[in-house]
Amino acid sequence: MSPAPRIAVLAGGLSHERDVSLRSGRRVAEALRGVGIEVSVHDVDADLVPALTELRPDLVWPLLHGASGEDGSVRDVLELLGLPYLGTDPRASRIAWSKPGAKTVAESAGLVTPRFVTLPQSLFRDLGAGRVLDAITTHLGLPLVVKPAEGGSALGVSLVTRAEDLPRAMVECFAYGDTAMIETAVIGVELAVSVVDAGDGLVALPPVEIVTDGPYDYDARYNPGRTEYFTPARLTPEVTARVADTALRAHRALGLRHISRTDLIVDSAGTIHFLEVNVAPGMTETSLLPQAAEAAGYHLGDLYRRLVLAAVDSPSESR
Amino acid sequence: MRASEIRALFAVASRPEVVSLAGGMPYLEGLPLDVIGEMAQRVIATRGTTALQYGSGQGDETLREQILEVMRLERIEAHPDDVVVTTGSQQALDLVTRLFINPGDVVVAEAPSYVGALGVFRAYQADVVHVPLDQDGLVPEALEDALTALAREGRRVKFLYTVPNFHNPAGVSLSAARRPQILEIARRHGVLVLEDNPYGLLGFEGEPLPALRSLDEDGVIYLGSFSKTFAPGYRVGWAVAPHAIREKLVLASESAILCPSNASQLAISAYLATCDWRGQIKAFRELYRERRDAMVGALAEHLPRATWTVPDGGFYTWVRLPEGLDAKAMLPRAVTARVAYVPGTAFYADGQGSDHMRLSFCFPTPERIREGVRRLAGVISSESELVDLFGVAPGDGGTSIESPSPDLA
């Protein structure tokens, strides 16, 4: 393999997170160019397959967030084209992309995750919305978090503290997708732990602690200043080690590759709750993985180059 | 849903798969680009040392004379000295607001009002008070009541901001009968009128109505633009203001930008001098009328439970959604269905408007407009089902002002 592989970054797509993806893609592309790597950036449209077929890059880095970018389908196409790519394979992506699916796998692997139910919109229609919502609050209690079963960047996510706010939260959630996941809201320290394989095996980067004035929603994520981040998180060494271990276990249990970010909450008793995992973590200027990498002493361009080289050396397995 | 979430959703609207009824870009394929290209080349070749040089803060004198000719179509009589050329009329809006508004001062505006103006007023911490409009534009009685109430409260009203022709977003025009009434009320209350008129020459039938400025020289600051009648890329607009204000506008503009682009001004000046600009405007009017017809026809066919304004010009129609729907909450679903619009909340400073959406018909072809409305009908039907299921009422839109960036189709 040549020392400077040619990389094709995929960014954009038609998901609700297009904007974030474009920004992630630009950031990564610039960081890689800064360390002398040749990068082209491509949107996911009718031109993509011919472009990749002609270019035959040494590696494709999908920085697509949401829908086909994270649910495995674009990765399926990369496999069909025989193009090596950075990140998780389609099958594991599909499971990780589904929040209930990821929680179920994490639970089987011995991780703790908030109690939850997954309900399609049609069920509310068939059984009567009021009855189902009553059953939810009775069974799971309050506060609750309502999220689309699939999707990122907290789009369509609401924290519900009063039962009368639940119907509106359901409407906002179903505007993004047909299935909702409703889980018990755990109060505690919110953390994001990125895991990377930059050639020395899997490493958990320092946890990032997220403190928001209000919910850590889309606005808080992408507008500098609305959220305070502590990197590394203000945790004891013992909790930090357990948090890192949890993220690594989630990464392995879900069969993820090269890069992931796991979102967790540590409650006041010190229990670590697994929330969700991202196979295409955000890479924008306010995103969590770049912050964690810098806190760990990495130069971003160097880290991305090492990730790329490691991925080029471990070609994707076909499944 | 938070405001910037809305803005992020618009990112998808620029993709060709999405029918965007959200933007406000004029349809420039209607322009004779080859002719304009040759003209630009001639300007640089023959007048390059002027075109590429700094210019006057007030704007090129020849262009200011030509602007008088444009304004005469709306019966405005002015002197070239009264005109200040700006970087789009948006800059004039900014300058006027900067000159007049101290934090907490009141700006009275239509309900709804142009989102770009609300953004400026907000930046200068003005307090926007909305006054209702109807099919004939701003309602004089409502304006009278609002100004009286504000005076009673001891509030300082600095100006009335109005888009009298083919309103953005409402699509209506202030009737000829109401124009003197509105001016009389403003005068009596000592309130200046800021008349924003980018669409006035783009009426689909009849002659343009007389501008407010043509009825009152001292009480009106008039804003005009070449962005909709010619091309927004040149960024040339203008203000016509009473003498004392105009001097201050020039100084404020110089401190902000030194001078408007000479290259743009000379190009527009050459266009006005050598091209059939009146014919071009007529061609645009016909093009947009056809698109308006496509929009209104498709709405009648696909959205029988909604109501909308039928504009006699301009770019937009203002649609009231069926009972119970929230345009902002519905937008993600629309994006999934590959159609985009601007939720009505963007056009209010106080969170109203969630039951409306603005649909633009300026950029997409008639066929795409029909397809977009068809998709929208599916979105509205699914959302109605959802809202009925959970029995929720539309929410408050919050007070942030969010709209697509200007380069959205």
pLDDT class for B61, splitting at 50, 70, 90?
very high
Contact A16 B332 (CB under 8 A): yes
The highest-level CATH class for domain A6-88 is alpha beta
Contact A172 B329 (CB under 8 A): yes
CA nearest to A214 within chain B: B2
Q: Which of A100, A166, A98 is nearest to A131 (CA)?
A: A166
How far from chain centre, in Å, is Cα A281?
Answer: 5
Contact A45 B12 (CB under 8 A): no
Q: Is A47 a catalytic site residue?
A: no
Residues 6+ apart with CB under 8 A from A238: none
pLDDT above 70 for B220: yes
Pairing of strands A38-42, A6-10: parallel
- Distance CA(B157)–CA(B104), nearest Å, equals 10
Let me know if B41 is exposed, middle or buried by CB neighbors in 10 A (0-12, 13-18, 19+).
Answer: exposed
B250-271 pLDDT tens trace: 999 999 999 999 999 999 999 9
Best B390, B402, B407 member to test A by mutation, with max A CBs in 10 Å, is B390
pLDDT-wise least confident of A214-228, B17-31, B96-110, B355-369: A214-228
Q: Minimal Cα–Cα distance from B400 to chain A, Å?
A: 12
Residues 6+ apart with CB under 8 A from A160: A142, A143, A144, A145, A146, A166, A169, A185
Backbone φ and ψ for A136, nearest 5 degrees, come out as -65, -50
Q: Is A213 a catalytic site residue?
A: no
- pTM for this one? 0.90
Type and span of the H or E element at B253: helix B243-257
Q: What is the CATH number of domain A95-112+186-298?
A: 3.30.470.20
Type and span of the H or E element at A60: strand A59-62
Of A43, A71, A150, A276, which one is the catalytic site residue?
A276
Contact B392 A168 (CB under 8 A): yes
Could you tell me if A99 and A319 are in contact, meaning their C-beta atoms sit under 8 angstroms apart?
Answer: no
SS3 A265: strand
DSSP string covering B97-164: HHHHPPTT-EEEEEES--HHHHHHHHHTT-EEEEEEEETTEE-HHHHHHHHHHHHHTT--EEEEEE--
CA nearest to A159 within chain B: B1
Q: Where are the domains of chain A?
A: 6-88, 95-112+186-298, 116-184
Please name the residue that has the structure tokens 């649609």: B319
For helices A166-174 and B366-390, angle between their N-to-C axes, nearest 10 degrees: 150
Of B7, B18, B389, the CB nearest to A129: B389
Contact A129 B329 (CB under 8 A): no
Could you tell me if B67 and B81 are in contact, meaning their C-beta atoms sit under 8 angstroms apart?
Answer: no
Contact B4 A219 (CB under 8 A): yes
B366-386 pLDDT tens trace: 999 999 999 999 999 999 999
Q: Which of B374, B329, B311, B320 is nearest to B9 (CA)?
A: B329
Q: Is A223 a catalytic site residue?
A: no
Let me know if A257 is exposed, middle or buried by CB neighbors in 10 A (0-12, 13-18, 19+).
Answer: buried
CA nearest to B385 within chain A: A125
Of B9, B335, B390, the CB nearest to A167: B390
Q: Is A276 a catalytic site residue?
A: yes
Q: Which of B228, B243, B268 is nearest to B78 (CA)?
A: B243
CA nearest to B387 within chain A: A171
Best A172, A221, A222, A286 member to test B by mutation, with max B CBs in 10 Å, is A172
Give pLDDT, residue B179: 98
Give pLDDT, residue A3: 62
Q: Is A261 a catalytic site residue?
A: yes
- Distance CA(A310)–CA(A298), nearest Å, equals 16
- Distance CA(B116)–CA(B114), nearest Å, equals 6
What does the block give as tokens for B95? 């300058």
- Distance CA(B360)–CA(B22), nearest Å, equals 6
How far from chain centre, in Å, is Cα B401?
Answer: 15
Give pLDDT, residue A318: 38
**CATH T-level assignment (fold) for domain A116-184:** Dna Ligase; domain 1 (3.30.1490)
SS3 A193: strand
Backbone φ and ψ for B80, nearest 5 degrees, come out as -55, -30
Give pLDDT, residue A1: 47
CA nearest to A133 within chain B: B390
Q: Residue range B138-159: average pLDDT?
A: 97
Which residues in chain B are closer than 8 Å to A171, comparing Cβ atoms? 329, 386-387, 390, 392
Which residues of A fall below an 8 Å CB-CB distance to B? 14-20, 22, 45, 121, 124-125, 129, 153, 155-156, 167-168, 170-172, 174-176, 217-219, 222-223
Of A15, A21, A98, A153, which one is the catalytic site residue?
A153
Could you tell me if B168 and B344 are in contact, meaning their C-beta atoms sit under 8 angstroms apart?
Answer: no
Of A24, A194, A278, A316, which one is the catalytic site residue?
A278
DSSP string covering B303-356: -TT-EE---SBSSEEEEEPSTT--HHHHHHHHHHTTEE-EEGGGG-SSS--TTE
Q: Which of B81, B79, B104, B84 is nearest to B94 (CA)?
A: B84
Mean pLDDT, chain B, rounded, equals 94
Segments of chain A scoring below 50 in pLDDT: 1, 317-319
Pairing of strands B342-343, B356-360: antiparallel
SS3 A274: strand
Contact A175 B15 (CB under 8 A): no
Q: Minimal Cα–Cα distance from A222 to chain B, Å?
A: 9
Which residues in chain A are closer than 8 Å to B332, comparing Cβ atoms? 16, 155-156, 175-176
Give the number of C-alpha atoms closer than 13 A to the C-alpha of residue A183, restricted to the C-beta side: 21
Contact A14 B9 (CB under 8 A): no
Give pLDDT, residue B1: 43
Q: Minimal Cα–Cα distance from B354 to chain A, Å?
A: 14
Which residues in chain B are closer than 8 Å to A156, comparing Cβ atoms? 332
Of A261, A304, A305, A316, which one is the catalytic site residue?
A261
Q: Is A17 a catalytic site residue?
A: yes
Give pLDDT, residue A314: 76
How far from chain centre, in Å, is Cα A89?
Answer: 14
